[in-house]
Every structure is written in C-alpha cells, then in structure tokens.
Amino acid sequence: MESEAEKTLLRVEGVSKRFGSLEALKPLSVEFHPSEVHAVVGENGAGKSTLMNILGGFVSPSTGSFWLDGANLPTGNPQRNRAKGIEMIHQHFKLVPAFTVEENLTLSQLGVSKKGIDEIKTRASEFGWDIPWSSRIQDVSVGTQQRVEILKSVATNPHVIIFDEPTAVLSVAEVHELIQFLRRLASEGKIVILIAHKIEEVLSASDRVTVLRRGEHIGTLLRSEVDADKLVHMMVGDIVPGIASRDFEHKGVATNLEVDDLWIRDDRGQEAVKGISFSINQGQILGIGGVDGNGQVELAETLAGIRTSLKGRVHFEGHALDFDKTYVGYVPQDRQADGLAVDLNLVDNMAISGLVNGLPYSPSGQIAKAEGLIKEFSVKAKSPRDLAKQLSGGNQQKVILARVLDQNPAILVIVNPTRGLDVKAAAFVHHKIQEAAKAGAYVIVFTTDRDELFTLTNQQWFMSRGKLFADEKEALAS
Amino acid sequence: MISLLQVLKYSAPVALAAVGESVVQRSGIINIGLEGAMLNAAFTAMTISTKTGNPWLGILAGTLAGVLTALATGILTIQFLLDQIVVGTAINLLSLGVCGTMFQSQSTTGKLMSLPAVPPLIGKVDIIQILLVLSAIATGYVLYRTSYGLKLRAAGEYPPAVEAAGFSPAKLRYQALLIGGLFGGLGGAYLALGVAQSFATEMVAGRGFIAIALVTFARWRPTGILLSALLLGVFEALQFNMQLTGSQIPRSLLLALPYVATLVILVFVGKGTRAPQSLGVTQKVGD
Amino acid sequence: MKQFLLTTIFILVVILISFLLFGVPIVEGGKLLVEGAFGDKVALSRSLVRATPVLLTATGITIAWRAGAFNIGGEGQLLVGALFAATLGKFLLNTNLGFLGCLLMLAVAALGGALWSGLAAVLYLKRGVDLVISTILLNFIGDKLLMYFVEGPLKKAGQTAPLTDQLPDALMLPKFSRQSDLHFGIFIAILVTLAVGYWLFRTKSGYFARIVGANPRFARANRVDSETVKFKAMLLSGAVCGLAGGIQYLGINGQLASSFSQQYGFLGIPVALVGALNPFALLPSALLFGGLFAATTNLSRFGGIGSYFVYVIQAGTVLGLLLFRAISDRKVAVRSDA
C-alpha cells in the first residue's frame, strides 16, 4: 500500500528513553523524508542527543521502534545501522590527529571497501572541496576535519546521514558552506537529519523542523510554517524578560570586578574567547548563558586563575586581580575530572579549598569540617570517609559547592551549579549562592539552564563563539 | 680496533628487542617487562640447548619463552587493565626470581658455562644477524607502508578511530605484544647462545631498558633503531676490546658507557613529540 | 585491617604455590621459613637487618609514587647515597668525631640520593625524559659509578682487592650486641618511615602530594602546581633511598665493595606495592619480606633455593594482589547518576 516515496522514509514510532528515573525522551513519532533536510532542534537537555544516539544505534530505546524503507530496524547496533545505510557525523571526530587526511580515510575504508580512497577523492572534487590529502589532521582547520569526517561517511553511499551539531565548531563562512552541502546531499535524494540549536542555521538549511523541549516532542512543522520567533517560542517556551537588577544590601563601598577585553586560547591553540568585557559590582550575581562549548570553560578557568589569557585584564577593586592574594572559589564544569579526586575520601576532597586559601593542615579540624558540611548541605554519604566515587553525581556536586562556599570567597566562579540536583537541592544551592552574594561576594555563574539563569542572577549575558551578547536571540543567531 | 661484524654481534640482542618493542609501543603499550622476557628467553635457550646439544632448538625455545612472557603481560595490562609500569616491573622481578632460583639449583659453581654456539652462515655472519637486518627493514615496511601497520599505529594514537573503523584496538595490541615477545625472546636467546655463549642470572644487564630507550630515540622507526643499536654496540665492543687489551680506562666507566650514552641520547632528543599519543594509557577494552 | 589480612593470605598462598613449583616439601619448608625468619633471637635480628634497608627504600618509593612520579631508581639512589657517605668517610677517618661523624655521613648519604633522583627529575621537567626510563638507567650508572670509586679514588691504599677503607667502630652505627648484626639503623628506618607517614597524612605538603598523585586535574583546578609537587617528592624520595645506602654502609660493614648492591632499592618496590603505598603498612610488609630474605638461607638445602626465591614470592604477591584488587573493583557498583 505504501508508495515508492513512502517506502524510503525513516520512520520513528513511539520511541522513548529512560535513564534510571530520568525520562530523557518522552515517546515521540516522527517521519524523516528523503530529499529533505530535516532539522531536530532544542536546547541543551532537550533530548536531541538521546534521539540521535538511538538513531545511530549507540543507545537502545526504552520503547518504540523505527523503520527504514518499510523494514523494521534493529536497535542498539551501530555497525548494522551503517550496513543499512544510516551514517552519523559525530560532534567529536573519530580522526587520528597524527595521521594525514589520506591515512585517516584509508583506515576507515579498511574494513569496508577494497577500492581504497580514489572514489572518495572523486566525491570530494564533486563537492567542490579542496582537501589537503597529505596534511596531518592536527594541522588542518576544524572545518576541514569535519569534511574528512563527512567523506568517511558518504563513502558508503548511505541513505540517511545524521549531522550532530555540526556548526558548533565552524566559522561563519564554513557554516554557510556546510549548509550548501546539506542541501546538496538532500537534492541527491538522501535523508539528511540535522541536529542543531541555532535558529538562523536551522531556518536557512532545513525543509522540515522537529522541536524538542525537555524530552518532549513539541511539534514537527514544514519550514514554510515557521519563523524565528515561532521557533524560539517552541524551543524555550516563553522568554522571561530580563530581571531588573536586584540590589542586595551590603556593607562597604560599591567596588567592582572588571573584565577588560579578554582574549583566551583553548587547549588546541585556537581562540575560544574573543575580546570579552564586562563588569560586576559587589554582591551581584552575573549569569552567563548560552550553549556549551562557546568559550565558557576557558573564560571560567581564566577567572578562576588556572588559565592565562592571551590579552586583556581582570581588575579587582582597583588592582589587577592577584590570585595568590585573593581566593577565588571555583566550581568547574566537569565535576569528576576536575572537581574531585574520586579515589580519595570526602575529607580530603573538601579540605582542598581551605588549604589553598591558607589554612593550616589539621586532620581533626578537616574531619569536623567535612562532617559539618555534609550535614549542612544534606550530602547523602555514610561518613566523611566515604570515597568521592561512591557518591551519586548530585551529591558529588554538593560536596564541591560546599567546600568552596565554606571559604567565603571574595569571588565565586561557578559552572552549572545545579547540574544533576533535584529541585530541593537546587533551591538550597541557589539560596547559598545568594547568601554569598549578600555577604559581599562577586558571583559569576555559567549555566546552560535557562530557568536557573533567570531566577538566580541579576544580570544575564549570553555567550556564543567566544563573545558576549546581551540579547538571547542575537546569541542564538550568531 | 673494532670490526663491524663484532659490533653487529654485540648489538643484536638489544637491536632485536628494540625492533619488537617499537611495534609494541606503536600499538600503545610500553612493555617494561621486556627485560624479564629477555631473561626468560636466555635461560630457556640455555636450558634447552644444553639438554639437546642443539643451539637451534635453544633459539626456538627461547623465542617461545619471550612470546609467552609477552602474552602474560598482555593479559595483565589489556584484559585486567593493570598499570603497565607496575606490571612490567613485577614481570621483571618474577622472571629474575624464577630464572635465578632455577639456575642456582642447577649450577653450583656459578656463571661460566659453555653453550653450543650459533654457527655462522656466510663468512662470520650467522643467520640471526642476517635475520636482524632483514626484519628491521621488514618491520619498518609493515608498520609504515601496509594497512595492517596503519591499523596498529592508529590503535596507539587514537583508539576510537580504530573502533569506528570496525577493528579492535585490544586485539591489535595483543598481536603487537606477541611480535614484541618474539623479537625480545630471539634477542635474549641470541644473547645467551650467540654473544656470550654462557648464562648468568644478571646477564641481560638492562638491555631490555636500553631497548625501550632506543625506541624513543629512533622515533619508533625500525631502521633507525637498528642503526642506533649498532651505535651503542660500538660502545659495548669498545669496552670489551679495551678490557682485553688492558686499557687504562677503568673497567667501570667502560661498563657504564652504554647506559650513559642512552641517557644522553634521551636528553638530547627531548620530549619526543612524535610518541604515539595513547602510549601507556590504560585503555578500556571495547567501547 | 582487612587489607592486611588479605595481603598475608596472599603471601601464604604464593609461598605455597612456589614451594609446589620448586619441589620444596611444604610442611618442612614452611617450618624452616618461620624458624629462619622469627625462630630465635638470631633469626629475628637477621630478619630485622634485612628489613632495614628495604623499609627505607620502600618508603622512598612510596613518597614518589604517591605523588604520581614513578621513581624506579631506588637502587641507584641507595648506591650513590652510600658512595657519598663513604667519600666523606674517607675524610673522617683520622678525626675523632664518633657518632657525630656517623650522623654527618648519613646526612650526606641522603644528600647524594636526593641529587641522584633530582637529576632524573630535572631531566623530566626540562627535557621530558620519562622518569621510569631515566631512573632505571641511573640505577645502572650509579652502580658503575660506585664501582669506579671503589676501584679507584676510594680504594684502600696498599691492597689489590677493591674495597674502601674500613671505618672504625666509633664512626659506625652502634650495634645492639656483639652476637648479632642488628644495628641502630633499624630505629632510624622506623623513625623515618613513621615521619613520612606523618608527612603524608598530616601535613599540607603531604596532602598536596597525595592529590597530585590521585588526580592532577583536580590539583590544577585548585591552583596546585603538579610539577613542583612532583619534583619535591622526587627529591625527598631520593633522599630516603640514599639514606638507606648510608645506613647499609654504616650499619653492616663500614666498608664498600664493588658488589655492594644487594638490590634493596629494587626490592623496595614490591614491598611498597604490597603495603599499598601506605607508610604504616610498610612496616609489617618490610618485616615480612625481610624475614623471608633471612629465612631463605635455611631453604638452601632444597635444590638451591637461594636469594632469588624471595623475588618469586614478592612478584607473585604483588601480581596476585593487583589482580584481586582489579577484579573486586569491577564488582563495586559506583552509584553515580551523573
């Protein structure tokens, strides 16, 4: 009964995913049509990656099924999905940095095709791409690396190609070229699925848009049926207008922390922060939102004193900020890799802030302190001697916050303060942060949680591609 | 004063071990236990050759001992994910203990024995030396010009890319270790039967570690490794000759030469930015 | 406590297996082992004498490894330490310094060890030379260096055998009685180990060493400089191993021979690993292995079981323990829902 066109559909039916008690994706049904670029959009945590991982075969859905060409696809098997013609371009490339482009492509073709990479080279020239075949991956631009990754996938002539947040790492010009490429692939009859969050890109690239919000399928519309405002509204609900500065009562002169034209390089040597300036008064909570990966970590690390900037300065109460004299409390983004020593116990994990702040070493004092903080922050642990790795993620987060806040830092830099915390714990943490501000701290909170951004902070900025924007829409579009 | 042939002979054990180790390291493992593997090989070679009177059986047996030692290392580091350095040190210790004990129980007098020697093939060159040169070239070729070598090197640089291509980094590392064990075993066996024609428990004397250092110096390229090993062999031959001719330079300093030279080489080379990026990193098996 | 019991069981199992493999009758062998290690005062003092240097090198190794610096050079540092002590000893021969001289030599031994480990640390910091390889190479170089001095500048005048001058009793570490070899060094070793334990768990710098070793990124996120911490740990580690050399020199013979090395530096590694890098656990670990060393002479009637036998037991215990810990770690459910 199905027509030819319908048979080459990729159909998702009733697919949902639970991780323990967390419902990452509520049941959704979507059709992906051939010869179309179909964008799947939503904020961080909306469920886009979960859906894509399921489609790619890396994760099995809790319920539901999907169908390609009328045939039921087995789930949870990436190799089989690839055999069936579904390819995925990951956000994190699976390329060997020290190998040349050619070597990487040869490697990827080894198990697959005996013809080697001549076909790939032909394809590349068909696309109009000028690829430096003998250059090492680590030496070529990210945009070129992405093209290599794409070439790996199109070599098998797949029917479905999924692009997972491809524009996050590209320059504006490269984004434009990529969008042209997506449209070209679609015109070849393929099903092109684009996972994205930037409105402008979605609008110029796609024929159809599916919007997810907090795991829920909000709707699937044709490009002709949406515009920027409608999309944003579907993605985030109502935009809360910026909250006016709340002045907390604090003692002392209204001094400030001023960031002046900061330029910062990331670990790969590329500019992650491009000339940021802002200032914040004592007792204020500044919020920096925006999508992950736009320079937030580099900025946070520089403000915390563990990364040096390329250019620009940070002024604190009239002088250049001296980290040896001023304790900056820092809650890093990756709590297990940077925030804790997971093989050590809670006493050791909590003692660090005080010690770095100049306190003397006192085992009994540290144990008492750990016990006190565990109680105060309701950390679920049997004893302070529990190892950090035995705690759940949310409780680990509490440990880090507790030890930092306990030092009454003059400056507080926090990344994603309530990630993994339940409502009650999150409210408690917010309360503590506001307390710290009231007591006169300068607080800078980086968060991808919009609700948190607007309820916790006095000022909101949005970070995109290393720059700050006051207007959220502007940031999303950049 | 010293002949190329002499140098070739003296450097063969280290060179063989280093060629094998270059394969191992390119796959991402640092095999500290190479020293123990060579000792096991030397001991086995000695035992079998004295029992059978046939040096070739000894060489074969010694090589096998090297392979088995490498296999044990592989299981401990790849399957059980134990730290590579600790495992290597433990293997060395175990080998020293086992060989030392078994040797002590056999020989009451101690060190000097006369073992069936490896006979020369062409002129004064024996087949092992020829094998050494050929295999250094062959290994270099396989590592850098074949698809197998590509896979193996990718496992040592960035395992996720190997998995994405549908291969198992763990399997490749096992294979590399077996190759390393084969060469290390051959080197150890040749040390006993070809170079020294005797056995002493302390005879490997750090050659395994020197081999590891050589791999870094020669940038994981087997032909470079062979040449570097020959260079070190010059020192060893010099030292030997000087002792014979009763040179004025103290024996101790001559003995120290190879180690000092290796260290100087490493300092000179510096950080070796071309090391396989995943070298020594404990990897989870599979995804 | 549980760790300790586990370790003891492991050692017993490994000894059992080793006996079986090498054809040693179990009951008799076991009895001889115990007698040889702890049977009477003589045996006990022999065990303690053997345990002394191993305890120190294990402590030295623990210091470095805890900070994430894989110092395998305990042997070289021990030898260079002894060398430094003997060099000073030559100058002290005709003085009347007595115990003070002894202490000076010990201090100089520690200095020598620290210099030797510091050399490797500098090469690592400045030139990126891997600590494992450099410290191993320096073991061999240190050995030959000692050989050079013993056969050359430090050789006792007027004799052919390569030995240094014999120190008079006054300059050496006092012995407890004339019957046994047990000397004052055991106290020093225990004291140093306890001090290191205190340093590691009750001081700021020890704490920083532990966190650098546990998670360098955690250290970095809190503005603790890993490289400085590691460097200091290497120096301290070398000093303790050097001290071991000094104690061996001043406690046993007061004289160096070119065969001074008894592999105590190397053997400290399994002792440290079996003690899970905890200074307080090193005490029983060293005593145990020291006893084993002393006892194996008793076993020599069984097919030449000699000094190498203990290595088998050590290695077997280490590997067995590591395997056990690895397997049981996998079973521990990590309750993280991040």
Note whether B166 contacts A: Cβ–Cβ < 8 A: yes
Instruction: Supply the pLDDT for residue B286.
Output: 36
> Chain B residues with CB inside 8 Å of A95's CB?
158, 161
Token pair 């309360």: residue: A431
Alpha carbons A441 and A444: distance in angstroms, whole number: 10
Q: Give the chain A residue nearest B164 (alpha carbons).
A: A94
The residue ranges of DSSP E strands in A227-352, in sequence order, are 256-265, 271-281, 285-289, 311-316, 319-320, 328-331
CATH number of A4-236: 3.40.50.300
Q: How many CB atoms lie within 10 A of CB A241?
A: 7
Nearest to A111 among B153, B166, B274 (CB): B166
Alpha carbons C145 and C142: distance in angstroms, whole number: 5
pLDDT range class, residue C313, cuts 50, 70, 90:
confident
3-state secondary structure of A90: coil
Instruction: Supply the pLDDT for residue C78.
Output: 97
CATH class of the A256-477 domain in this structure: alpha beta
Alpha carbons B240 and A40: distance in angstroms, whole number: 74
pLDDT range class, residue C331, cuts 50, 70, 90:
low
Strands A36-41 and A191-196: parallel
Q: By the 8 A CB rule, do C234 and C60 touch? A: no
pLDDT at residue A343 tops 50: yes
Alpha carbons C279 and C293: distance in angstroms, whole number: 20
Q: Give the chain C residue nearest B95 (alpha carbons).
A: C312
Inter-chain touch B166–A112, beta carbons under 8 Å: yes
What sign results for the dihedral spanned by CA atoms B142, B148, B152, B153? positive
Q: By the 8 A CB rule, do A119 and B166 touch? A: no
- In whole angstroms, how far apart are CA C293 and each of B189, C22, C243? 30, 17, 21
pLDDT at residue A250 tops 70: no
* pTM of the full structure: 0.83
How does pLDDT run across C73-117, given as a tens digit for each residue?
Answer: 999 999 999 999 999 998 888 888 888 999 999 999 999 999 999
3-state secondary structure of A319: strand
- In whole angstroms, how far apart are CA C74 and each of C147, C234, C310? 17, 11, 18
Higher pLDDT, A249 or A415: A415
What sign results for the dihedral spanned by CA atoms B255, C243, C232, C230? positive
Task: List the one residue out of C290, C296, C19, C308 whose CA is nearest residue B93.
Answer: C308
Instruction: Supply the pLDDT for residue C1.
Output: 60
Instruction: Supply the pLDDT for residue C302.
Output: 61
Token pair 């390609």: residue: A68
Instruction: Supply the pLDDT for residue A6.
Output: 52
Instruction: Supply the pLDDT for residue B190.
Output: 93
The two tokens of residue A253 are 């002169």
Taking the mean position of all CA atoms in its chain, how far away is CA A421?
Answer: 18
Instruction: Supply the pLDDT for residue A478.
Output: 67
Q: What is the ipTM of this complex?
A: 0.84
Do the domains A4-236 and A256-477 sit in the same CATH topology, yes or no? yes
Inter-chain touch C319–B263, beta carbons under 8 Å: no
Q: Where are the domains of chain A?
A: 4-236, 256-477
CA angle at B109 for the pair B104 and B115, rounded to the nearest 5°: 85
pLDDT at residue A2 tops 50: no
pLDDT at residue C335 tops 60: no
> Chain C residues with CB inside 8 Å of A391's CB?
335-336
Note whether C207 contacts A: Cβ–Cβ < 8 A: yes
Instruction: Supply the pLDDT for residue C74.
Output: 94
Instruction: Supply the pLDDT for residue C332.
Output: 53
Q: Which of A436-445, B83-92, C175-184, C237-246 has the lowest mean pLDDT?
A: C175-184
Note whether C257 contacts B: Cβ–Cβ < 8 A: no
Burial letters B109-134, b for 16+ CB under 10 A, else e: eeeebebbebeeeeeeebbbbebbee
Q: Cα(first)–Cα(last) distance of chain A, in Å?
A: 45
CATH: 3.90.1600, 1.10.3470, 2.60.40, 1.10.1740. Which one for C2-328? 1.10.3470
Higher pLDDT, A173 or B40: B40
Inter-chain touch B101–C273, beta carbons under 8 Å: no
> Chain A residues with CB inside 8 Å of C202's CB?
361, 363
| 3-state SS, one letter per residue, for B224-248 | HHHHHHHHHHHHHHHHHHHHHCCCC
Instruction: Supply the pLDDT for residue B98.
Output: 92
Average predicted confidence (pLDDT) for chain A:
85
pLDDT at residue C121 tops 90: yes
How does pLDDT run across A258-269, given as a tens digit for each residue?
Answer: 898 999 998 878
DSSP per position, C89-111: HHHHTTS--THHHHHHHHHHHHH
The two tokens of residue B7 are 């140098």
pLDDT at residue A3 tops 60: no
Note whether C159 contacts A: Cβ–Cβ < 8 A: no
Q: Where are the domains of chain B?
A: 13-204
Alpha carbons C68 and C209: distance in angstroms, whole number: 8
How does pLDDT run across A371-429, given as a tens digit for each residue?
Answer: 999 999 889 888 999 999 888 888 898 999 999 999 999 999 999 888 777 777 788 88
pLDDT range class, residue A320, cuts 50, 70, 90:
confident
Alpha carbons B196 and C331: distance in angstroms, whole number: 49
Q: Where are the domains of chain C?
A: 2-328
The two tokens of residue A112 are 């697959």
Give the dihedral of Cα atoms A45, A47, A53, A57; nearest 10 deg: 150
pLDDT at residue A241 tops 50: no
The two tokens of residue C113 are 């060890």
* Percent of chain A scoring above 70 in pLDDT: 93
How does pLDDT run across A98-120, given as a tens digit for each residue?
Answer: 999 999 999 988 877 766 788 88
Token pair 């160096």: residue: C256
How does pLDDT run across C215-264, given as a tens digit for each residue?
Answer: 999 999 999 999 999 999 999 999 999 999 999 999 988 889 888 888 89
Give the dihedral of Cα atoms B128, B133, B134, B138; nearest 10 deg: 130
Token pair 């390819």: residue: A87
* Percent of chain A scoring above 90 in pLDDT: 35
Inter-chain touch C129–B266, beta carbons under 8 Å: yes
Instruction: Supply the pLDDT for residue B124.
Output: 75
Q: Mean pLDDT by 10-residue block, N- to C-terminus, for chain B (287 residues)? A: 81 95 94 96 92 89 96 93 90 93 71 66 81 93 94 93 89 96 96 88 90 87 89 80 71 84 82 71 51
Q: Which of C65, C212, C217, C330 to mutate to test the interface with A (most CBs of A within 10 A)?
A: C217
Segment A247-251 mean pLDDT: 40
pLDDT at residue A318 tops 60: yes
Segment A159-177 mean pLDDT: 84
